[in-house]
Amino acid sequence: MRKFDTLLIANRGEIACRIIRTARDLGLRTIAVYSDADAEALHVSMADEAHPIGPASAADSYLNVDVILAAAKASGAGAIHPGYGFLSENADFARAVERAGLVFVGPSAKAIEIMGDKAIANTHMLDAGVPCVPGFQGDDQTDATLLSHAQDIGVPLMVKAAAGGGGKGMRLVANLDDLLEALTLARAEASAAFGNDTLILERAVQNARHIEIQVFADHAGNTIALGERDCSVQRRHQKVIEEAPAPGMPQTIRKRMEKAAIAAAKSVSYVGAGTVEFLLDENGEDFYFLEMNTRLQVEHPVTEMVTGLDLVALQIAVAQGRPLPVSQEDVTLTGHAIEVRLYAEDPANGFLPSIGKIHKFEMDNTLRIDTGVRNGDEVTPYYDPMLAKLIAYGDTRDEALRTLTKALDNAAVLGVTTNVAFLRDLLDHAEVQDGIATTSFLDATYPEGPPQTALTSQSITLAAELLLRSEGDAAQAQSLLPDTTLAGFSSDGGLPIPLDLSLYDETYPLTATGVGTDHITVSGDGWTHTVSSDFRVDGLRATAHHAPDGTSGLYLQTAGHHLHVTRAQPWATTNAASTGALTAPMPGLLVSLNVAAGDTVLKGDTLAVLEAMKMQHQLTANTDGVVAALHIEAGQQLSKGALILTMEDPS
């Protein structure tokens, strides 16, 4: 038995909050660590004690082993829980924790090492009799060698970071002509995220389902499976929807997968919580080992919901040397659970992360919400942009889907753009409704990416009404005040008031009449609507969430839109000189410039690569042209909107 009463959580965000909740329920004292960017974060306020560990950069804080161990020593912690991401699958960190005389809440360093290197893991799994995808996992990492093996494997193929996970350092190659660029991008992402740019190649198993088995083992070697999760709906190999159990999973396939997963865990003398991931071929019979995550998974809540087990509590019990309190015969799957990941990102703009202050964060209480943010928090460019996990449970899958759908309709996140509308749209697709989505579903559904929902005149009308209310000054355009004693007041006899709104950086010239009453009429380009003080546009109730932006505008979420509403300045015009300019879509490091002044480029060509939130973003040309000038050099940190290069018409 290795008893401890104080637990340090070497992580941040929702997973740190999640671990703190269970540890607190178990009577443990909890220690948080935080970077300069997270000084006011939710996990810091939840813990019994919190220690600063350095600058915002993850490399200088959450990945800094020495400073985390120093915090553990200073706080008197007896154990460290790594959560997921960061150091959770770092074998050297696990060894350092043990050498410091502390308990590492996770498997042995050797197990992490074997399973953390995809090349070694594949070889190990083949020896253990676990089916694997054909590929190349060699030491020779030259482009020539990888190209030669890629030709043997054939396309489509996957380029993967050997030490990777979470979709980082991973590229799908459909044409061998694109392999060299994929290798370059994958190496850069792998090096930045894991400090290891070794790559492997695998045959791409297309139209497959991504099924994973949750395993658990104690120090006595007792190893059990806690059922499966279906994580097939993915974007760039990042899971978007996860559910348990997998829809339509035959019991025979489930048992075969569980047997293979247990064999995989036993082959490395695994201890604690782990997940063995498989690709289930479109024939529904054959499956292949994908990887083993030697940590708690992001999607672990759906397993908790259908098994009734607290996986963090089990992790802590096993880490203290206790035997598993359940046997394989005790495990039953009851009901159905579905989880979606809420991100601060703009799906219609290439899923670029969104940063800024959260002015409103409200979720439906019918869900389990695992989050690390609250009203007033800042989303920074330094870490993964996931804000929360929304988990719905029902006696049946249909019931869980209905609960999740209704909750997304009522979800409000204002101040940053999120994927709420995108998630809601996904749930309406037949493949998701019927539980038959494969790993290729999202690419097939949105080949050009999710389109921006058209901004309707009704939404513009609602924005106008809310902005007039928010201004709150009767002397300025006779705005409607909260004081109902002024209802009906209008010193101008109801004459139209000019009202130019700025939405999505576009200007909408409007006129408003009836300002100062319970109903105002808003007119735009060829349309007119009446909106009431109770949010009815032409008599129809509108669903809207809104919050002031802290200055003179407001944030509005309605009809699939996240709008920043302000009055447009009359002197604001489009700068013609900026036409053809490539600017940074978000803060980040300019990793490379792929063109020079005078180069001719075609629409879709990669002009530059920007690294932000641990991902490499390719910035491409949206039209044919000639590079007129470069305005910045590679290697510089850019702010949003920074001018990178300008282009001119090729003619």
Concatenated DSSP letters of 577-632? GGTTEEE-SSSEEEEEE---TT-EE-TT-EEEEEEETTEEEEEE-SS-EEEEEE-S
Residue 375 has which token pair?
A: 């009203």
Cβ pair 424, 408 in contact under 8 A:
yes
Integer Cα distance of 304 and 321 in angstroms: 22
Integer Cα distance of 377 and 612 in angstroms: 19
Integer Cα distance of 60 and 48 in angstroms: 24
Q: Walk across the sheet containing 103-104 and list its strands.
A: 49-52, 29-34, 6-9, 79-81, 103-104
Residue 560 has which token pair?
A: 């699939």
Integer Cα distance of 346 and 422 in angstroms: 9
Spacing of C-alpha 554 from chain mean position: 25
What's the number of CA atoms in the CB half-sphere (13 Å) around residue 232? 27
Local structure of residue 49 (DSSP, 8 states) = E
- Active-site option among 295, 397, 541, 567: 295
Does the annotation count 21 as an active-site position? no
Integer Cα distance of 22 and 24 in angstroms: 5
The secondary structure element, H or E, covering residue 488 is: none
- Pairing outcome for strands 272-280 and 528-532: unpaired
Q: Where do the DSSP E strands lie in 441-571?
A: 497-503, 506-513, 519-523, 528-532, 536-537, 540-541, 544-548, 554-558, 561-567
Integer Cα distance of 375 and 279 in angstroms: 39
Active site residues: 295
